[in-house]
Amino acid sequence: MNSNSAERRSVRTTAGWGFLCLTVVLAACTPPGDPRRHTTPPANPAAPTTSTSTGGPPCTPSVDTLAAPPAGYRLVGEDVAVPDAPVMSAEDSGETEPAARLFAKWGLIVRAGTVVDLRVAAGWQDRARLGWGGTGTRAAAVTVHACTPEGGQAQWMAFVGGTWVAQAACVPLIVTSNGQNDSVDLGIGVPCDKAATS
């Protein structure tokens, strides 16, 4: 690989990180009711190309490829990273479904080449919804297929989406990957240390 190719790759990586950071900052700073604010994550036509040759479910559309989970994220098991913030801002979603009244936008980070299942814990099916990949589809249980990108350079994939809730709460999620179940509590509109999960 010549030095020009390495420099171009470095610029693309830096630009990708910049775009991801800018997206997070803008989403956090855009006030509710602003017409520029998306209540449902939009599809990204510029999402990285992914391979479908691995079989299994279709590839979930991603917005970025990463060498490692970014700062401010924590691992759940070996293949998923979620925000480490004690509370994620939840705004009126504009949705009519009672379980989707509020929406907290956050990016899901999944190890490239893996398929993970995420679901709300038992008893939460009528109070919370999940969704990633820019399709706007939300459900109590979702599958994210982080296909290995062409070239196989990236170790992690980033997906736009988040969590919908009936009301601000500490939402318990179950993450399943490679036959292993891991649980994580997410503060949606309220910190988990100030809210019951049941």
Average pLDDT, the chain: 77
113-159: per-residue pLDDT in tens?
999 999 999 999 999 999 998 766 799 999 999 998 877 677 999 99
How confident is the model at residue 150, as a pLDDT? Answer: 77
pLDDT at 173 over 80: yes
Overall average pLDDT of the 45-72 stretch: 71
Q: How far apart are the C-alpha atoms of 24 and 104, rounded to whole Å?
A: 12
Higher pLDDT, 41 or 193: 193
Would you say the C-alpha torsion 89, 94, 95, 96 has a positive or negative sign? positive
Give the pLDDT band (50/70/90) at residue 9: very low
Higher pLDDT, 166 or 8: 166
Q: How far apart are the C-alpha atoms of 124 and 79, rounded to whole Å?
A: 23
Higher pLDDT, 36 or 10: 10
How confident is the model at residue 24, as a pLDDT? Answer: 40
How confident is the model at residue 56, as a pLDDT? Answer: 62
Q: How far apart are the C-alpha atoms of 49 and 64, rounded to whole Å?
A: 10
Domain count of the fold of the chain: 1
Overall average pLDDT of the 167-192 stretch: 96
Determine the structural domain holding residue 27 and report its residue range: 3-194
Overall average pLDDT of the 94-103 stretch: 94
CA-CA distances (angstroms) from residue 46 to 20, 36, 152, 170?
A: 13, 19, 18, 33
Give the pLDDT band (50/70/90) at residue 49: very low
Residue 49 per-residue DSSP state: P
